[in-house]
Amino acid sequence: MLDKLQVLVTKYEELERKLGDPDVIANRTEYQRSAKEHSDLQAIVGVYREYKEVLRNIEEDQQLLAENDDELRELLKEEIPRLKARKEELESRLKVLLLPKDPNDERNILLEIRAGTGGEEASLFAADLFRMYARYAERAGWRIEVMNSSISDKGGFKEIIALLEGKGAYRSLKYESGVHRVQRVPVTESQGRIHTSAVTVAVLPEAEDVEVQVDPNEIRVDVYRSSGHGGQSVNTTDSAVRITHIPTGLIVTCQDEKSQHKNKAKALKVLKARLLDRMTRERDAKISEKRKSQVGTGDRSERIRTYNFPQGRITDHRIGLTLYNLETILDGDLQSVIDALSTHFQTEALKESAA
């Protein structure tokens, strides 16, 4: 581990020198690439430098124990255990920082939420989940743009797709993909009986143009008049767009904008994200199940979480986490859940790395 870290420190110092080189500064592309590499290494180099400082202090303190000074020895006997504890903390952090990074972690995401079993109640809960993620995004300072939505009779969402733009969006929400189950008394239930409904969530990293090329000859674009809640017309022109990717059969629709051009641009963005996701899944299918879980793609058919309203309880079934602050979580205070999931999957990755 220390050999790897020293290589990274050397690279970091080389990048620092490059960033002060007038020739590099004059080359905008090279400067931006070097600045990003330098920024990516900053955290691990900082922790490693503190780690080396702690090791040096431990060694010096142990040498000072041989001094004929009782008061000093008493102080050192208190300080050395504290330094050793800090050494172990830093070692744990370095192991995590050395794990292979998910290349998608810093990307924007396409968040897709769809009502599943449960009819109107599932649609209403889909709206609750979208509000939860939207509130979380607002707290993180991210930008939210709805790409497409289909509203149910009671005002819920049969489907909603949104772009969340912000640093680390995928890293924060990548473990949210899967089936979210809700247990509560629906507004349509007159007997007060608890119903169980389900909503599916998919979190896709936004695709960059250089990664996914869409051949215009391989798509079919249909336009039609958009319709809204209850079937009423949203506008009087054929502005809604449906794009079919012929080789894969993927279909994307978008009708939220009044402009056909804007709807087409949004639909293409969603299509590219789905194509990138498909490529990633096909690649991961070729590697072991352990590695697949380490990457954290997850199975969207898997029930990952239950929201129990009568008990005010939320349970994440993958890690056995149960919390009794359902109301605050649905208000966007998701960080405790996200941190627990990240810690769990990092621990699994460390076990795999050690094996």
Single out the residue of 53, 13, 61, 3 nearest to residue 37, CA to CA: 13
Residues 6+ away with beta carbon under 8 Å from 293: 345, 348
Residue 237 binned pLDDT confidence (cut-offs 50, 70, 90):
low
- Does pLDDT of 55 surpass 50? yes
The predicted pLDDT at position 188 comes to: 67
Name the packing angle between helices 335-354 and 70-97 (round to 10°). Answer: 90
Comparing 104 with 175, the larger pLDDT belongs to: 175
- Does pLDDT of 341 surpass 70? yes
Mean pLDDT of 293-310: 68
The predicted pLDDT at position 287 comes to: 52
d(CA 123, CA 113): 10
In eight-state DSSP terms, residue 206 is P
The predicted pLDDT at position 305 comes to: 96
d(CA 200, CA 177): 7
The predicted pLDDT at position 355 comes to: 60
> What number of other Cβ atoms are within 10 A of residue 177's Cβ?
22
Q: What percent of the chain has pLDDT over 90?
A: 48
Kind of pairing, strands 195-205 and 109-115?
antiparallel
- Does pLDDT of 292 surpass 60? no
- Does pLDDT of 299 surpass 80? no
The predicted pLDDT at position 99 comes to: 72
The predicted pLDDT at position 96 comes to: 76
Query: Which CATH number is associated with domain 109-348?
Result: 3.30.70.1660
The predicted pLDDT at position 334 comes to: 95
Q: Which residue has the tokens 């767009």?
A: 241
- Does pLDDT of 294 surpass 70? no
| 18-40 confidence digits (pLDDT tens) | 999 999 899 988 898 899 889 88
Single out the residue of 125, 236, 116 nearest to residue 178, CA to CA: 116
| 108-153 confidence digits (pLDDT tens) | 999 999 999 888 999 999 999 999 999 999 999 999 999 989 999 8
The predicted pLDDT at position 50 comes to: 92
Instruction: Find the angle CA(153)-CA(155)-CA(160) to the nearest 5 degrees.
Output: 105
Return the C-alpha torsion angle 59, 62, 63, 68, nearest 10: 160
The predicted pLDDT at position 344 comes to: 87
Residue 15 belongs to what H/E stretch?
helix 2-19
- Does pLDDT of 229 surpass 70? no
The domain segmentation of the chain, as residue ranges, is 2-97, 109-348
d(CA 188, CA 241): 33
> In this structure, are residues 266 and 256 in contact, taking their beta carbons and an 8 Å threshold?
yes
Mean pLDDT of the chain: 86
Q: Exposed (0-12), middle (13-18) or buried (19+): which is 155, by Cβ within 10 Å?
A: exposed
| 238-291 confidence digits (pLDDT tens) | 788 999 999 999 999 998 888 888 899 899 989 999 998 888 877 767 654 544
Biggest CA pair distance of the chain: 93
In eight-state DSSP terms, residue 174 is G
Q: Which of 159-168, 218-227, 329-338 has the lowest mean pLDDT?
A: 218-227
The predicted pLDDT at position 158 comes to: 94
The predicted pLDDT at position 220 comes to: 92
- Does pLDDT of 323 surpass 80? yes
d(CA 234, CA 246): 28
Q: What percent of the chain has pLDDT over 70?
A: 89
